[in-house]
Structure 1
Amino acid sequence: MKKSLGSKRAYLTEAQIAEIVQVYGAGEEGAAFTQEYRETKTNGVTKPAEPEAPRIVSKVFPNAFFGYRKVTVDRPPRPGSEGKPKKGEKPYDKDLRDTETIPLTESIDAYMQREVLPHVPDAWVNTTIRDEKDGEVGKVGYEINFNRYFYVYKPPRPPHVIAEEIREMEKRFLELMKGVVG
């Protein structure tokens, strides 16, 4: 609480801490906090907190949900391109080589049929590039994007509310200027 970085000076009460421990300890899908912190100050002026729907703070996902398989997609060589393939490897154009990130929950073939082949019908997955741990095609990776799963869009305040706040600030500014000038 010594140094403020963004909105990190929010004080948690004992009841809020107990609720956090209870919600996450239960490991339930779709839990919400009943005692969630609500900001009530705007530019030093205390305002009542706007009512908000409870945010879902607990989501349970299977491990494979965050996993992906990065596969190498090759295309045949263009006329006049250089380079010889390694023994047993299908000839490809190194300048046209690309990768695709395919969710672990999806079939590589189904993904290729839907996302790649309609645009590049002569492409194929290079099956010689395999993951060291499971021996399957492509390299396995994991990514947890917290914004994607937990961000809740909060629409901006209506323009008439912002305009009224600006008028109030202008009045205060003019009053302060009278004291400096007059």
Structure 2
Amino acid sequence: MKPTGSRVGIVLSGSPLFSGQAGSGESEIRGWILENDWLEGIVALPDQMFYNTGISTYVWILTNDKATEDRGTVKLIDAREHGTKMRKSLGDKRKELTPAAIDEIAQLYGGARDEYAADARVKVLTNETFGFQRITVERPMRRRWEVTAEVVADEPYAAYAALVGQRFETEKALLSEVPELSTAQKRTFAKACAVADSEAPIVKGRGGKVEPDPDLRDQENVPLPAGWLALDETARERALIETAEAHLDNEIRPYVPDAWIDHTKTKVGFEIPFTRQFYVYTPPRPVEEIAQEIKDLEAQIQQWINGLGL
């Protein structure tokens, strides 16, 4: 784009909207565009619009000269139902946009903030709406150690067959029974004997630090706080921690009281979940209606069978 100001339209598939996890190249590109406030809007086109593919496509409108009222926001226009079926297809192209449909889409885009603000096909969202932090939720490791026949089936552990059936509350207590093993062998032996037990004491490492359980580790996406992109680096980091801790207290600890967040593993990502933004819940049909339909079909099938004289 020209430094003096340009507006660019790019036709892309749906993949650039969401592919790539937080911290990936795709996510970083989306974040770079949004942080610079270059994304003016995205228009979802009908499927089957192009000759060699029937996939859904999207027009990204980029500009480095946004209007004042558009700064910090992105317009989303859902024009997926505006396609008209062609009389004769051209390869995979089976739909087209009529001049009237194009005019209507342009009106939706241009009036997204005023006369069409309440239209279900229009969304105007802040740049932060598309950002999130990927947090890592840890839980304490709880283990007991039990020697089984499988553990001592092979050398050099066969010499400790007498320990089969014994349980130990700590790894240290277990390893005190096998002083002849090397450090590597002790590590392997302890790992083989370890059994996850929610009632067992918490395992602590050096300095009494609680050890996280990798089997219970979980990750969640937490939306970015409002105005996050306008903050400096220090304020951003502080806002991320505060938002994550609030999510932990409100959404996680009521069910898992001993959980905590390892903030050193947090990554910021960006995605544009277009379909989710325009999703409309459709309640399922009543069970009675479905049951009646099945009975009607069964009766119809029975009539056909009787007609065949079977």
For Structure 1 versus Structure 2, the TM-score category normalised by the shorter chain is 0.5 to 0.7
Q: Which runs of 5+ in 2 are unaligned?
A: 1-48, 56-80, 86-94, 145-170, 172-190, 192-202, 226-241, 294-299, 301-310
Following superposition, the deviation at residue 27 of structure 1 comes to 4.1
SS in 2 for 1:109: helix
Q: In 2 relative to 1, CA 128–16 (structure 1 residues): closer, same or farther, beyond 3 Å? A: closer
Distance 1:24 1:147 in 2: 18
User: Judging changes above 3 Å, is the alpha-carbon distance between structure 1 residues 30 and 76 closer, same or farther for their aligned structure 2 residues?
Assistant: farther
- If the length of structure 2 is used for normalisation, what is the TM-score? 0.34
Q: 1:86 to 1:148 in 2, by over 3 A?
A: farther
In structure 1, which of residues 148, 151, 157 is the aligned counterpart of residue 279 of structure 2?
Answer: 151
Kindly report structure 1 stretches of 4+ aligned residues shifted beyond 4 Å. Answer: 1-8, 81-87, 153-157
Provide the residue aligned with 1:66 in structure 2: 130
Hey, what does 1:12 align to over in structure 2?
97
2:214 to 79, 83, 94: 94
Report the more deviating stretch, 70-79 or 18-27. Answer: 18-27
Residue in structure 2 matched with residue 77 of structure 1 by the alignment: 141
After superposition, the C-alpha distances for 1:64-122 in whole angstroms (9 at most, x for unaligned) are: 112211111112221337698699x7521222211121111381111101111111111
Which has the larger share of strand?
A: 2
Measured in 1, the distance between the counterparts of 2:252 and 2:277 equals: 26
CA distance in 1, matches of 2:276, 2:114: 17
The number of aligned residues is 133
Partner Cα separation in structure 2 for residue 118 and residue 154 of structure 1: 31
The aligned counterpart of 1:28 is 113
- The structure with the larger Rg is 2
How large is the Cα RMSD of the aligned pairs?
A: 4.2
Return the letter of the residue paired with 2:124: V
Higher relative contact order (CA 8 A, sep 6+): 2
CA contact (8 A) 2:132 2:223 kept: yes
Tell me the residue number matched to 1:44: none
Q: Provide Cα deviations, 1:132-169, integer angstroms capped at 9, x if missing partner.
A: xxxxxx11112322232213456799x7xxx9xxxxxx
Query: d(CA) in 2 for partners of 1:143 and 1:99?
Result: 17
The reply to whether residue 125 of structure 1 matches residue 261 of structure 2 is yes
Structure with greater proportional helix content: 2
SS in 1 for 2:250: helix
Q: State the identity as a percent.
A: 42
For structure 1, the 5+ residue unaligned runs are 33-53, 130-137, 164-169, 171-182
TM-score using structure 1 length: 0.54
Post-superposition CA distance 1:8-31 (Å, at most 9, x none): 525433232122123213442672
